[in-house]
Every structure is written in C-alpha cells, then in structure tokens.
Amino acid sequence: MGAWTYRATVPLIEVDGPATVIPGVGPVRGGAAPRRTETGLGDIVLSATYNAYYDRASTLGLDFTGKVKLPTADEGKGLGTGETDFAFLVDVYKTMDRISGFGGVGFHVLGDSPGFNLENAWSANVGATYKLSERDSVGAMLEGRERVVAGGEPQRELSGFWTRRLDREWRAQAYALIGLADGSPDWGLGLSFARPL
C-alpha cells in the first residue's frame, strides 16, 4: 500500500484509413475522405499510479492514476490532435489463485484543436488475466469511451494480450485488438516494454 508506479509510453504508429480519422479520437468530420497511410511518432503518454489500498487477506486492491498525453504526434499527418490531454482513472482489482480480475472508470480532459472542438468524456474497462507461469500471463480487456467530438462515435474495443517477465525489472507485452464501434480502429497490433522507474 502507498507505492507509486511511473510509466512513459513512446509509441510508433501506422494509420491506414480516411484522412478524417485521428488515432485516439476517431472520425472528426463527416463525409467521404481519401484514404491515406501515415507512419510516425505518436503522442507520448506519461502516467503516475498510486496504490491507495491493498488487502493481502482478500487480495483486493485500489489504484488511482493520472495521465498526461503530450502532443508529440505530427498533427499535419493526422497522427494526433496537436493538443495536451489529461486523464484521471480509478481501478479496482482482485486476485483469485492464478486469475486476476480488474475494472475501472476514467475521466478524460481533452485539449481543443484549432480545427475541431473536442469534448471531455468518461471511459470504463473490465478484464481479467491468467497466470500461465512465473514468467508468462495472458489476458483480455473490454474498454470503451464516450464520443469526444460532436457528431462522432464512441469507442468500444476488445483486446487480448500476452505478458512475459524478461528479468527482475523488464517486462514485454504483445497485444491485439478489434474495434466494436465506428469510433475505434478496425483492428490493431502492438508490442511494449516496461521497466519500473
């Protein structure tokens, strides 16, 4: 209890779709638009999580997280909004032998881009992980967020992931997702590495 965890995400992204679609936002304007493929640095996300409660007897925990998204993606390529965003999240989790269940809610404060106005929004997630061994675990998560632009669509995504502990500090995670709403990507793949700071 009382432990802090800090994370930095530096993504390299590729987007293939209509020019009116922005990653993390969805369609920002209606009507037909030419398709384009763009690759580049995404928006860097910094986060801090505080473990506010953990009971060893019940294995029930509560985390508070704050995030800031820095506008490092190329706005001209449609890889980002060019604005700084903030998010505040509350997550609960419980472990039962090899299985851990989790869920949470969040509130996102989005900066306004000169080209369109973004609305603040609520989000929610629920999922579970299964520990295969001391090094490996797999899991799935369903998450969604309200629409963030007038006339836009909400986000709904289902993802599966595999996490491997590389050593005492480093972890690697591979994931795949499918979009369940028009505001989400059709599909996505990713690979990340994490190390406590």
Domains of the chain: 4-194 (2.40.160)
By CB atoms closer than 10 A (0-12, 13-18, 19+), residue 28 is buried
Longest alpha-carbon distance in the chain:
57
Instruction: Write down the pTM of the prediction.
Output: 0.88
How much of the chain, in percent, has pLDDT values that exceed 70? Answer: 96
Alpha-carbon dihedral angle through residues 135, 140, 146, 151, given to the nearest 10 degrees:
110
HSE-CB at 15 with a 13 A cutoff on CA atoms is 27
Q: What's the pLDDT at 196?
A: 65
What gap in Å lies between CA 61 and CA 55, rounded to an integer? 7
Q: Share the mean pLDDT of the chain.
A: 90
More confident residue, 30 or 98: 98
> Which residue is associated with the tokens 């706005």?
75
Q: What's the pLDDT at 31?
A: 61
Closest CA relative to residue 191, chosen from 177, 172, 178? 172
Q: What's the pLDDT at 161?
A: 98
Q: What's the pLDDT at 23?
A: 81
Q: What's the pLDDT at 113?
A: 77
Distance between first and last Cα of the chain:
17
More confident residue, 172 or 24: 172
Please say if the pLDDT value at position 17 is more than 60: yes
Please say if the pLDDT value at position 142 is more than 90: yes
Fill in the amino acid letter for 102.
F
Contacts of 164 (CB under 8 A, 6+ apart): 135, 136, 171, 172, 173
**Which of 7-11, 27-31, 127-131, 166-170 has the highest average model confidence (pLDDT)?**
127-131
Annotate 166-177 with DSSP letters as a single string.
Answer: -SSS-EEEEEEE
What gap in Å lies between CA 69 and CA 42, rounded to an integer? 10
What gap in Å lies between CA 187 and CA 197, rounded to an integer? 31
Taking only the tens place, the pLDDT of each residue in 44-72 is: 999 999 999 999 999 999 999 999 999 99
Please say if the pLDDT value at position 132 is more than 70: yes
